[in-house]
Amino acid sequence: MLIKKIIGNTITTLMLIVFLVVVVAVVVSKASGGEPAFFGYQIKTVLSGSMEPGIHTGSIIALKPGGDMTRFQKGDVITFMNPENILITHRIVDVSINSAIGEASYTTKGDNNNAADMSPVSSTNVIGEYTGFTVPYVGYAMNFAVSKAGSVLLMIVPGILLLMYALYSTWKAITALEKKNNSSAAAEPLPDTLH
């Protein structure tokens, strides 16, 4: 029973540490004006259901940025900037290469959409390739964490929790000392004579 408890606590602690490291990395990256990145992969939040069921709304996904943006083939999933400066992650359904200017043009489509996207995507607008890594619903928390209210909350709540834990630990230590002093005082025999 004790071993199960130790293993459970260890797994929970490790998961919490990994989650906190990811959150801190993303918040620090965003605060410094950069894209949220972790070990060279950009972290993006999916805001629509166009790629469901593979990528759910509110998920975070990992992208591998950089490299030759003309390398993609039919079936690859890419993230690109559309003409309205909105990031979109869709699957390539057709590729046209213009070797004269060294660019590719991709026709894309969301897996959950009935038709291909209206405008082809130039390889110059591609941000990166979807790596297949997705974590459902964490994107909602990440978007909140990088908002002003979320950033403040993420600073204040841990501070309050640490203060409460310190007060609780102090109270437990004082209670234990008082109990020890009371039990040792009760165990000492009273003197036979009074002075």
Task: Cite the active site residues.
Answer: 48
In order of 14, 20, 23, 147, 165, the CA distances from 10 in angstroms are 6, 15, 20, 31, 20
Residue 122 backbone phi and psi in degrees, to 5 = -75, 145
Burial of 23-32, coded b for 16+ CB within 10 Å and e otherwise, reads beebbebbee
3-state class (DSSP) for residue 96: strand
Q: Side chain identity at 20, as an amino acid letter? A: L
**Region for 181 from its dihedrals, namely left if φ exceeds 0, alpha if ψ lies in -120 to 50, beta otherwise:** alpha
Q: What are 99's two structure tokens?
A: 């070797």
143 near 44, Cβ under 8 Å? no
Contact present, 79 and 62 (Cβ < 8 Å): no
For residue 104, what is the DSSP state? E
The DSSP symbol for 125 reads G
